[in-house]
Amino acid sequence: MMNNLETPLATVDLARSVGMSRKQLELLFKQHFSVVPSRFYTRLRLDHAKTLLRLTGKSVVQIGLSCGFSSGPQFSAAYRIQFGIGPREERSLHGRPRQLKNASPASFPT
């Protein structure tokens, strides 16, 4: 999932990549994480977006797209549902972000 934040994989493709059916994967996720894989994946992408908002100077739209959301409004709505505030509000709460050189998704904590 972390390797595919910008272009999220469908649950069936995730299941296939680990050698099980979609249903088996969903059951395991519900058992261990209390959510289905798609919800877990969305949370992972939003947590990564939060880190980027706090640590980079990328625009909100750039961050949303780099975390697999198809538009700024879709990203903002998902972010607000998950965290109770919009991405712009998140950024303003944490001051002016600094631009990181050579930043990649793998270099940020989740």
Asked if residue 95 belongs to a domain, the reply is yes
Q: What angle do CA 104, 68, 40 make, to 5 degrees?
A: 95
- Is 6 or 95 the better-scoring residue by pLDDT? 6
Share of the chain above pLDDT 70, in %: 85
- Is 109 or 15 the better-scoring residue by pLDDT? 15
pLDDT at 110 over 50: no
Q: Give dist(CA 76, CA 69) in Å, integer.
A: 9
State the total domains in the chain: 1
Q: Give dist(CA 25, CA 58) in Å, integer.
A: 34
23-39 pLDDT, tens digit each: 999 999 999 999 999 99
Quick one: CA dihedral 25, 26, 28, 33, positive or negative?
positive
The CATH number of residue 90's host domain is 1.10.10.60
Banded model confidence at residue 81, pLDDT cuts 50, 70, 90: very high
Tokens representing residue 14 in the block? 């995730």
Cα first-last separation, the chain: 12
Domain that holds residue 87: 2-8+38-107
Asked if residue 24 belongs to a domain, the reply is no
- Is 12 or 97 the better-scoring residue by pLDDT? 12
Q: Give dist(CA 72, CA 25) in Å, integer.
A: 30
